[in-house]
Amino acid sequence: MVKTHPLGFRVEQELKEALERAAKDDLRSVSSMVEKILTMYLRENGYLPAAATA
């Protein structure tokens, strides 16, 4: 199992509510949704390597 690291930050209420709706629609927790969004952004902008394709 991969060891994860906590990360805390504050967002405006409107952003939090939108994030909660997006997570619910994607059947994810808010934490998982944030990780997905961050990963997508970082890959698209060259900060992380592209995902391997199967």
CA distance 54 to 44: 19
pTM score of the predicted model: 0.85
- Which two three-digit tokens encode residue 29? 């927790």
Asked if residue 7 is part of any domain, the answer here is no
CA distance 39 to 14: 22
**Domain of 19?**
13-44
Asked if residue 5 is part of any domain, the answer here is no
Per-residue model confidence as pLDDT tens digits over 4-48: 999 999 999 999 999 999 999 999 999 999 999 999 999 999 999
Asked if residue 1 is part of any domain, the answer here is no
Asked if residue 30 is part of any domain, the answer here is yes
Distances (CA, A) of 20 to 24, 27, 29, 48: 6, 10, 8, 25
How many domains does the chain contain in total? Answer: 1
